[in-house]
Structure 1
């Protein structure tokens, strides 16, 4: 699936603030509100837009510790096995298979160090996990919530 430049601009506007009105987005991208709505509906039907959500500051929910856990899995562990295993932990907010020595990396939010340690031990005890390596986040430097590399840049497929 390839998005036009206009669709990319609409998606970027929604990623920044999904509560923006179609009229407001239309004024920014040069379309009428109904034209923006039609494009958003089409993008949803095509699966380019998979949903709308709210971003909450983790600290507001009591999550004060963030860590990344590298998972080194036993041989013949599938990505689906990893996804299924990690999906049981509400503290795991994202997980990805990766290149390099580790098989996957999980982003974990916890209330405090003891909570993080407990989650780490439980994940390390999963039958598919051979070993783990973790790091704690000190200060988030940059967070992007859309697939865009940066405003005005196109991804590799769009070049």
Structure 2
């Protein structure tokens, strides 16, 4: 990967529907050269998918929270993944340093449905307790994937 590849990725992150010619105008390549680079990035697994992002408010998931997850004893990340994968309101999760074992990003249609999803997390085996923070307003949102 070189600087041009990184610039192409940045432009595709902003708009995955950008035309090769439009991207080429910005990075200084022809449309066909951009297409070859994008094809190589896909073949190499750098680009995993082209997708859409739907506004969560329109999609019925306007309530969001960040939840710290605290476990009893030592729980393997694979087990946490198994537990959290079964809860559709969980949109992102990762193990973390500090006192919590994991941080979980959840989205739901409203507070009652968020509460139900949180209860499903809390009753999972090995989960001791959670600490939640409901998002009031989103200030910055960048997707790294």
TM-score normalised per structure 2: 0.94
| Per-residue deviation, 1:69 | 0.9
Q: Distance in 1 between matches of 2:72 and 2:39?
A: 43
**Aligned-partner Cα distance in 2 for 1:4–1:36:** 13
- The residue aligned with 1:112 is 110
Moved over 3 A (4+): none
Q: How does 1:46-65 map to 2 (within 5 A)?
A: 46-65=44-63
Show the counterpart of 1:146. 144
| Aligned residue in 2 for 1:94 | 92
Cα 1:58–1:42, aligned 2, differ >3 Å: closer, same or farther?
same
Listed as ranges, the gaps of 5+ residues in structure 2 are none
5 Å matches for 1:19-38? 19-38=17-36
- 1:45 maps to 2:43: yes
Tell me if structure 2 keeps the 8 A contact 1:12–1:146.
no
> Contact conserved, 2:64 with 2:108, CA < 8 A, in 1?
yes
1:66-115, Cα deviation, whole Å (9 max, x unpaired): 00111112323111111121111111111111111111111111111111
RMSD: 1.2
Give the total of aligned pairs.
145
After TM superposition, the score normalised by the length of structure 1 is: 0.86
